[in-house]
Structure 1
Amino acid sequence: MAENENIARQAELLAGELFAEFFWERVGPTNHDWPCEAPEEHGVATHPCDVVYYYDEPYSAQRTYVHCDLKSYAKGSIKSLAIKSALISLGKQVSCADKSSAWQEKHAHDDVTYSICGLLFVYNHDGQYDSDFNTSLTFVANESLQLPRGKKVFVLGPKEIFWLDNISSEIQRMRGKRIAELPSAEHCSYYHPQLVRKANLQIKKAKSATLETLTSPIIILEARDPKGSAQRKIIVFYSRAGETTAEFTYLIDIIRKYELLDERTKVIIKTLNASANSSPTFQKSQQQYIEGLAGTSTDLSEYVLAIKYEPISEIKTTYSSIDLGTWS
């Protein structure tokens, strides 16, 4: 039993480390039960809560609470039936949390407009899972989750967690170098562009990476100069393999449309497990993009050429259940 508890705790430890790097805040107690609001419909008297995090939304004046179900599975335990069962249970939890005074008293702040979503966090603690996790999700029909209108449940599988873990480690590595490549966290935030139909309403307050950001192929970190100058550094974490010039051209175009190319901005693109030819492919995409800018500003061409491309080294975070047992 103790070993199982320590294995389960690995997901809790990793989630805490990861989400702190993406500026999520934990709120309320962990690992507790609370009364179900629809016991006959849900078939249970109580619901579990592993942990709740929150962040402020960039495009609306509200806060998002992320009610998490943290799973730590060995390779052979990641099966469709287990994932389906966890998702159905999580859907019921999110449905109840929205109308539960017991849940809200423990986790929601007063005088805040908010929404609650669910997150299933599936960590492969032995690091051996190499199947397509998404096939486990195809067996879950949306109607089986019993979610109220407008409510969402997100899933981070082994591949996504591995990617986010490597982003977190790369950020820490850049900060920890003898000559730091990134300033401290207080001078950093995750970039949310000013969209045509969605203005960024909380530029200073909403510095966290949202769940939509964490589940997208592009995550952008903006670092400001601690000395107060207008200079900034933009780190673009890109999860795709970089196999063609077309995908890099598209990425450069996104960076341009987000207005991240100017004289005060240094842009670095970082990838993980990229194609062996990704570096020359990126260089060709820069050249081709510039060719397509014929007749436009020569400054823009210089900004495109100045973009750096840096594949990052792979890491895998693992924990010893023996060590966790020693400290528990």
Structure 2
Amino acid sequence: MKIKSIPYFFWALLCIIPALYPRPAHTYTAKIAVFNFNVLNLDARGYGATITNTLINFLQKTSSLDIFNRRELEAFLSLNDLQQNCNLSNVVTIGNRLGLDMIVAGTVKKNGPVIEIFCKVVKISEKFVIFHKKVRSFGDFALKEVIRRLSRDISKAIKLNIGRVKRPSPKKDILKPPVKIFAKPGSSKISLLWEDNPGPKSAGYKIFRSQSEEGPFVKIAQVTKNNYVDEGLEKTAAYYYRVKAFDTRGKESDFSKTIRAKTIVTPNPPIILSTQAHVKSIKITWAPNPIKSPDPTKLMGYKLYRAKTE
């Protein structure tokens, strides 16, 4: 019985061990480059290369960092006439072109025995400095230890920002321009009608007009309702309109889409010749206007309107 139970014992171990010691999760390796530290005064000559090389040696010991080859970096910069400096836009440009995640850059200056190092790390995708620090070494004998501690801080900052996405700040409600603008042309007027865009409520509207689609658009009216009648226009002329909404604080939306409308010509009104009253009806007789109408379209009929007062 004991011999038969041995296989079951091993099977149990095979099931328990993976649960107790799970495989480590895949870690992302950050692609970084280290720029030459710029020398700020004559006393610091030679320290730029020393600090850069020492820092790279320490950073290479961090398994999550993939450091771009120095010779390849120098060749790329020389070929493209680019410089190694701390300027943010310059760092981001180089980082994007090389497909890097981050770039380490800095400066060094020496005042007497004090060696002062400034260092920063730029996250390329966010165009943002994720780490910056100023350290001092009192003499050459302490320089290596200062750089070692600096490399440790840099590694920590990079690890904290690997794969981290910068969340955009929540957008405030923005007043949006009117939509579904409709234009109804008349002989010397154009009636406009529109709807509010979903979102913050508007307090009123500004109407702009132009005789060219490209503009310039001139403000012709300001109303609180969602309609407007533009009167006194030339006949058979094209006009272009845009509308803006504004709120109680006076803030305006962007322009709405441009809408085109063209005034039309209408036939001359007919002439009423006579009216004859009956018990339950009134007979009206009219004739077409003898004056030639500017509208060449053939008349198709008439519309009659009635009112109880003049």
Task: Give the TM-score, by structure 2 length.
Answer: 0.16
TM-score calculated relative to the size of structure 1:
0.15
Pick 1 or 2: higher relative contact order, CA cutoff 8 A, min separation 6: 1
* Higher relative helix content: 1
